[in-house]
Structure 1
């Protein structure tokens, strides 16, 4: 868990307005060569590493009765898939899914509790 109360911005300024989640690691090789351990490590870092801080920020904003903005980066790999980046692409595809779920996760909370998404495009 990522408790927002432990973040320097919250400790110094007393609140959190915006969060940028830019998590991801990769190992470049053919999809058929990934071990289960490599798959798990890459997917965990790429997807959970972005989702958990966003979740903690949302909980923080709900507890303080305010809202905020989360920018969760993704990649073109998550939209189209790249065979030599299979677990990374799966994780970034998960980031895309998180954005689509934002209104279902927090129904009725339209303040500033939302997710933006940016994708790197070569």
Structure 2
């Protein structure tokens, strides 16, 4: 048993430190979970507003359109064309706004990627043959 203990001393040391690593992992995962829960609220609000935007725009444009037709400022066919244009525009906003959080994540990831690509190595430039 003594020989096996000496041969596997690294494994035994790691097993005794497992509770410390587990505690660190648990703390880090709680921090990540809190951040994701906070971000989830904002993404939920973004989704709610973007999906209801079409109905709000349709209600507002019909209300304004009825007033314009009633006061005889425009004909009903031009008002209806305007309402349809607003409806199609609001559908485009609705469909594109659901991807806004992904655009933000992609921009951050691209920035990190380019910072790694353009980073100056600590050991020197291999293409020039320099050493630090």
Could you tell me the TM-score, scaled by structure 2's length? 0.28
The structure whose residues are more often helix, as a share, is: 2
Q: Which has the higher contact order (CA 8 A, sep 6+)?
A: 1
Higher Rg of the two aligned structures? 2
